[in-house]
Amino acid sequence: MAEHTRAFLITGARGNLGVELMKVFPGALGVGRAEFDITDRDSVFRFIELTKPGTVIHLAALTDVPKCEHEKELAWRTNVVGTENIVEALSSSAPDACFVYISTACVFRGDRGNYGENDIPDPVNFYGLTKLIGEFAAKRMKNHLVIRTNFVPRDPWKHDRAFTDRYGTYLFADDVARGTKEVVEKNLTGIVV
Residue range 104-144, pLDDT digits in tens: 999 999 888 788 899 999 999 999 999 999 999 999 999 99
Give the amino acid at 189: T
Give the amino acid at 28: A
Other C-beta atoms lying within 10 Å of the C-beta of residue 91: 15
DSSP 150: -
Whole-structure pTM value: 0.90
The answer to whether the beta carbons of residues 131 and 106 sit under 8 Å apart is: yes
Could you tell me what percentage of the chain is helix, strand and coil, using 3-state DSSP and rounding each to the nearest 5?
A: 40, 15, 45
3-34 pLDDT, tens digit per residue, is 434 689 999 999 999 999 999 999 999 999 99
E strand residue ranges, 35-129: 55-58, 98-104
Residue 127 annotated in active site: yes
Domain 8-192 has CATH 3.40.50.720: yes
Of 115, 127, 167, 170, catalytic? 127
